Chain A
Amino acid sequence: MNGDEGDPGAFMDRMILESHPYRVLEGLTIAAFALGARSGVLYIRAEYPLAIERMRAAMARMKTKNLLGENILGTEFSLDVRIVEGGGAFVCGEETALLASVEGVRGMPRVRPPFPAERGLWGRPTLINNVETYACVPWILRHGAAAFAALGTRRSKGMKVFSLVGKVLRGGLVEVPMGTTLREVVERIGGGVAPGRVFKAVQIGGPSGGCIPAALADTPIDYESLAEAGAMMGSGGLVVLDDSDCMVDMALYFLRFTQEESCGKCPPCRIGTKRLREILERLCAGRGGLADLVRLEDLSQQVKEASLCGLGKTAPNPVLTTLRYFRDEYEAHAAGRCPAKKCAALVRYSISDACMGCTICAQRCPAGAIEMRPYEQHAIDSSACVRCGTCREVCPVAAVHLEDLRCP
């Protein structure tokens, strides 16, 4: 079982492991029975100590009830299940890397085929599925496949759990039938974005996923529609973005993650993601140009084509989708402007004449960039300012403004 949930902000598997350990173990046992497998491995990341503890406890209880172990319920069927704790590498969520990790070697993906079903753990045929998949099995067996298939769309069946995070009023885990539109999830379930803010996009599918703009919010959540929009279901991360989020910064955030988590085996991923990151960093720092956009597109496409495993093949997705839907923001960055006023190097803070000289900003500024002048209009020394935004937050009269560095 693949319980190496590594997407930033995703905690679906964690919830299931911590709250429904029996469901997962039952699903796994059923799968083992169907295949005639005699041993099972739960690969759970070590960063989930509570999940591991609860899975251990559940396994111990099942053993005492003869639901696991030798001759389960008096039958010929025996199943030995053990837990392997992951060492904290994102790439170990890739199945071949996961298997290597279980074998005690460095978690690096290998070429498929042979698929694990043919040659997996210790060279033996191995079935490998995610936590959610196993958790669905007992329900399907109990209620029948038809009941499960009745949920969802024509091609994507059943329910899916998403971790709804970002700029929504009500974040958290949500379970919806496949085919629910993004708008329903964001607005009806999540309560939409904060008042006064504009819903801009959702980043779906984790670091390998893509950004879908608000204009396409009526896209139903199913495998095919998401793929068509350039994103993917992934493990089910769903980050809601509003107009204060910069799409270039967003792409950089996810790319930085995949770049750091690349195993370093193949050059397209190892070096290509690094070069992509450098270009994005350049744009966010106002040192980029329009030629960088072409470079980004070219590099992204080729990294996708040439990489060995899923990590590299999908790492450029956040870049490609934001380029596709928010090219204007990239162009603005190339001209040294961040429309969302998010990229620190491209903005500056200033204090308007609404300032009443209360000195709170000067007291709180961590960089000492504001001189304390009681009852006078304060001013920010832009060269000392670290763009933390504290002054803006503490100002009682909203006199602190964000503006473009280049064209105030």
Chain B
Amino acid sequence: MKSKKQQIYKPKPSLPSLVPPWLAGVLSAILPGLGQAFARQIRRGILILFSFATIIGLLVWRFRLAAPRDTGFMNIVNKAIYLQPLLTGITVVVGLLYLANIYDAVKLATIAGKPEKSKPFLIFIMLILAFFLLGWQIGQIDLYTLTTSFGDAGPALSRVLWPWSRAISFPEDTWRGIAVLETPCSDNPPPPTATLEDRPYLVVDPTCGEPTIQQATDNSGVEIIPGTTLEVKGYNFVPGVVVDLWWIDPATSQFRQRQEGQNVNVIPDENGEFTIDIIWPYRIIPPSYREGVSEWELQGRQITNVGDWEFSAEFNLAVEKMVETIFIGMMATFFGIILSLPFSFLAARNLMSANSFMLGIYYLVRLILNIIRSIEPLIWAILAVIIVGLGPWAGIIALTIHSIAALGKLYSEAIESINSGPIEAITATGANWFQIIVYGVIPQVIPPFVSFTIYRWDINIRMSTIIGLVGGGGIGYLLTQWIRVLDYRAAGIAVWFIALTVAILDYVSAAIRERFT
């Protein structure tokens, strides 16, 4: 081993090159690194060969990916360079790398056997540059779009950052003013609506007429015969609040009055009155309702706020789910502590090195903890959702599993780093293993345990917002839904709650940790 190490740092200066410098250059031109190998720098040669092969391989892949439908070498190259100009730059750098490799081989062969040393700076720089440019190209890095389209995120961002208009709402009530019309006009048309006190009503003139009709024409077009023009007067509406006009046809289905492609609405004056002319609209009505005289109803509807503001449904839901989230984190931490404690003592080397059996348990527990810990809680959550279904319980299971592994490791390391003196002293009194743990180990590990536990609680609450993404309950679940329906204000409320909770928790955990250390 030792001689090998020396070889790395001190290339043997005694051996001269096997080939003259020009031949080394030619060899490296044929196969990068070959010249270096013949100049007695086999390791460097191998390194150069492998890096060069890797870069060429990546470059070929990128060229083919850029022009997947083309065949023929030149076609692919032309198309790829046209679509991805950066590939030209990479090709140039690879060319320079190739030249640097030849230069390096010549130089190495020249100085081989002399005490001089040559470090492959040029090759190194070209390698870094090539990998950097490849990374840029593979990563599809696009600073132009990033900077020019930055403003596109503005609307969403501003809603997320200041979502509070969505946090409150006003209870609403619908006011209706009604008038009854008939078609076709009978001998006895309905009278104008009676005047009402305190409640809105509509007066329509005339009170009977014909709806708009569509008729097929000879040249297979459609002829529209407009219906009766109605003068609608509204009274007793709330001033300044929009009134929508709705029809209820003889088949009792509701639809809005539309004219020129727009829903018709009107704003009453300060007396709560308005006047508007509308054309009796076209409507397909089942034949059974068309026989004889049928009755239509016109409504003026006004949605008004009644009473004071209140928290919106979204706000209340966010509060509810935030509480749920905190408790998911808490329960997961709680179960995590209980279940990881036994593991932590088994995974502490200083307690488990008494004999080979205990050492075996130590390695086994360590292995299991490492495997569990290396699987993300998100994946545990997906598995838990399969078993127990959507909801907080799945989240608790996922976070508990991860907490056991993480806390088990942290706890066991805390145990491993305790002062062995007290343990020695307690052992010397004739105490058994359990007594040594209770009197020698536990008092020493309480501060780090408390600290790690609080930290874990902190992590679990932050993590439970993520667990919600896959259905593990809590506020993350809401957050994903709101983002998917583009309700950025509601999502913003959730984000604010998460941020506030994490900030408060951070402060609390720091305070608790301070007290225990």
Q: Do A and B come from one complex?
A: no
- B residues bordering A, Cβ < 8 Å? none
